Amino acid sequence: MRPEPRLIEVRRNVLKQNDVVARALRDRFHRARVFVVSLVSSPGSGKTAFLEKVLTVLGAGHCVAALVGDLATENDARRLARSQAPVKQITTGTLCHLEAAMVQTALEGWDLSRLDFLFIENVGNLVCPSSYDLGEDLRLVLMSVTEGEDKPLKYPTIFNSADAAIITKLDLASAVEFSWETAYRNIQAVRPGMQIFRLSAKTGDGMKECLDFLQIRQTEMRQPATP
Amino acid sequence: MRPEPRLIEVRRNVLKQNDVVARALRDRFHRARVFVVSLVSSPGSGKTAFLEKVLTVLGAGHCVAALVGDLATENDARRLARSQAPVKQITTGTLCHLEAAMVQTALEGWDLSRLDFLFIENVGNLVCPSSYDLGEDLRLVLMSVTEGEDKPLKYPTIFNSADAAIITKLDLASAVEFSWETAYRNIQAVRPGMQIFRLSAKTGDGMKECLDFLQIRQTEMRQPATP
């Protein structure tokens, strides 16, 4: 059955090549002391709505910027640019995920040392982005209450590759009879100890906790390593 | 930039190989006079909820069966088996889509000539399944109102590869201020003339129209070709 050995071999090479570029990116981000956060989720889970709020609030006191990946359209970049933060769209065509080389190309001409935070919004896809390191410091996986509590069990790889989870569209939880207990149990079954946030980008509920978390992590990253 | 020529070449070979298997499957389905419908959508758009209703209602007067694709778990097969229809889970591991060879393997030992309808639920992914023909007669793309009206523009390939669209979670449309007009316009922009259904699997609204459509298409398929 598929995939046959030759395709596996080629995929391994692509991943290896991606890892080399991702490592170079990570070094560059660390030298520039910019904290890099990537966002992964299904299509329509609310990555852009979350990022709109994050850029606006964090942008008031920090230098923030974003890259947004989509197969087609510049819609998300236009939406996010309203926050006044520098935003660049990466259009992938038919490719279902971002790769480190695309991030590298998109950053050409940017002075990263002027930034405190860089956000990278991946293509909406709960499978393929999990395999591609983008050099980020933190990977956030979002899932909306409307998708159902079973998604961590059905898409374990992406939950495993992420550092924290945000359950979005909190305002719709009652309407869809969302069980927080089941969702938490499913996330913990796949990734024990994973930190989980609840958020409604629409009402603002849970936004402060997410922002505090990002700022604490950014501050920790900027501190010199203890001897 | 990626993907580099060698990967493109290997992908083309995989697709070509898939097309050969899909063609053989389609011939087999036609000989058995079974009408085959595949379902594609984002994770959590309601493919399984729709299919649960379809199998129960159609199953009362027809012989129906289903194959369901997921990276992990047998949850969907268990859910659908409650309809009493024969159901088989295809677990893809890390693969983000179904391929024709997986369908072929899953059908081993099945007497297709006893079936009127076979449903194939793809892995939840709005990108990759679009490239893989499964030998189906009809491909339905589902999108839920909670994902937002812009999805057809951002994932045009999958809307282009489908024969009809179902907008699901109709019961949540007001809560998310869903604009039907914008959604219809976006679908038509990508795939002019595409038939669109509105559905709430929860309340049953729109279910009759979807079922009528499937039965009409199945009847048309079974009719001998006009000379």
Question: Which residues on B lie below 8 Å from A6 (Cβ)?
Answer: 10
Asked whether the beta carbons of residue B123 and residue A127 sit closer than 8 angstroms, the reply is yes
Task: Say what angle helices B207-222 and B47-59 make with each other, to 10 degrees.
Answer: 60
In contact, A68 and A87? CB cutoff 8 Å: yes
For residue A190, give both structure tokens.
């796949």
Whether residue A175 lies within 8 A of chain B, CB to CB, comes out as yes
Read off the pLDDT of residues B70-104 as tens digits, 9 standing for 90 and up: 999 999 999 999 999 999 999 999 999 999 999 99
For chain A, what's the residue count? 227
Question: What's the confidence (pLDDT) of residue A227?
Answer: 56
Please check the confidence at residue B25 and state whether its pLDDT lies above 60: yes
What residue ranges of chain A have pLDDT lower than 50?
A: 1-3
Read off the pLDDT of residues B34-47 as tens digits, 9 standing for 90 and up: 999 999 999 999 99
Whether residue B126 lies within 8 A of chain A, CB to CB, comes out as yes
Question: Which residues on B lie below 8 Å from A153 (Cβ)?
Answer: 72-73, 75
ipTM of the prediction:
0.91
Whether residue A131 lies within 8 A of chain B, CB to CB, comes out as yes
Percent of chain B predicted with pLDDT > 90: 89
Q: Torsions phi, psi of B56, nearest 5?
A: -65, -50
Asked whether the beta carbons of residue A124 and residue B126 sit closer than 8 angstroms, the reply is yes
Question: Which residues on A lie below 8 Å from B131 (Cβ)?
Answer: 94
Q: Chain B closest CA to A207's CA: distance in Å?
A: 19
In contact, A47 and A121? CB cutoff 8 Å: yes
Beta-carbon contacts of residue A108 (< 8 Å; ≥ 6 apart)? none
CA distance linking residue B8 with residue B103, whole number of Å: 24
Q: Which one of A18, A146, A157 has the shortest CB-CB distance to B94?
A: A157
Whether residue B58 lies within 8 A of chain A, CB to CB, comes out as no
Task: Say what angle helices A5-32 and B5-32 make with each other, to 10 degrees.
Answer: 130
In contact, B118 and B65? CB cutoff 8 Å: yes
Question: What's the confidence (pLDDT) of residue B13?
Answer: 77
Question: What's the confidence (pLDDT) of residue B223?
Answer: 82
Residue indicated by tokens 């995920």: A97
Question: Which residues on A lie below 8 Å from B128 (Cβ)?
Answer: 96, 125, 127-128
Q: Torsions phi, psi of B87, nearest 5?
A: -135, 135
Q: Torsions phi, psi of B125, nearest 5?
A: -170, 125
CA angle A59, A64, A67 (to 5 degrees): 130
Interface of B with A in 65-94 (CB under 8 A): 70-73, 75, 94
> Which residues share a beta bridge with B66?
B87, B119
In contact, B71 and B91? CB cutoff 8 Å: yes
Whether residue A96 lies within 8 A of chain B, CB to CB, comes out as yes
Q: Which one of A70, A105, A169 has the shortest CB-CB distance to B154?
A: A70
Whether residue B174 lies within 8 A of chain A, CB to CB, comes out as no
Residue A35, CB-side half-sphere exposure with 13 Å CA sphere: 19
- pLDDT tier, B1 (very low <50, low <70, confident <90, very high otherwise): very low
- pLDDT tier, B14 (very low <50, low <70, confident <90, very high otherwise): confident
Question: What's the confidence (pLDDT) of residue A117?
Answer: 98
> Which pTM value belongs to this model?
0.93
Read off the pLDDT of residues A68-104 as tens digits, 9 standing for 90 and up: 999 999 999 999 999 999 999 999 999 999 999 999 9
Interface of B with A in 180-199 (CB under 8 A): none
3-state secondary structure labels for all residues of chain A: CCCCHHHHHHHHHHHHHHHHHHHHHHHHHHHHCCEEEEEECCCCCCHHHHHHHHHHHHHCCCCEEEEEEECCCCHHHHHHHCCCCCEEEEECCCCCCCCHHHHHHHCCCCCHHHCCEEEEECCCCCCHHHHCCCCCCEEEEEEEHHHCCCHHHHCHHHHHHCCEEEEECHHHCCCCCCCHHHHHHHHHHHCCCCEEEECCCCCCCCHHHHHHHHHHHHHHHHCCCCC
Average pLDDT over residues B1-14: 65
Q: How far apart, in Å, do the first and last CA atoms of chain A sit?
A: 52
Sort strands B195-198 and A117-121 into parallel, antiparallel or unpaired. Answer: unpaired
CA distance linking residue B154 with residue B77, whole number of Å: 30
* Cis before A43? omega within 30: no
Read off the pLDDT of residues B194-222 as tens digits, 9 standing for 90 and up: 999 999 999 999 999 999 999 999 999 88
- pLDDT tier, B9 (very low <50, low <70, confident <90, very high otherwise): confident
Question: Which residues on B lie below 8 Å from A147 (Cβ)?
Answer: 42-44
Question: What's the confidence (pLDDT) of residue B144?
Answer: 98
Q: Pick from B18, B43, B98: which is nearest to B66 by CA? A: B98
Question: In angstroms, how far apart are the furthest CA atoms of chain A?
Answer: 54
CA distance linking residue B170 with residue B188, whole number of Å: 19
Give me chain B's average pLDDT, please. Answer: 94
Read off the pLDDT of residues B166-193 as tens digits, 9 standing for 90 and up: 999 999 999 999 999 999 999 999 999 9
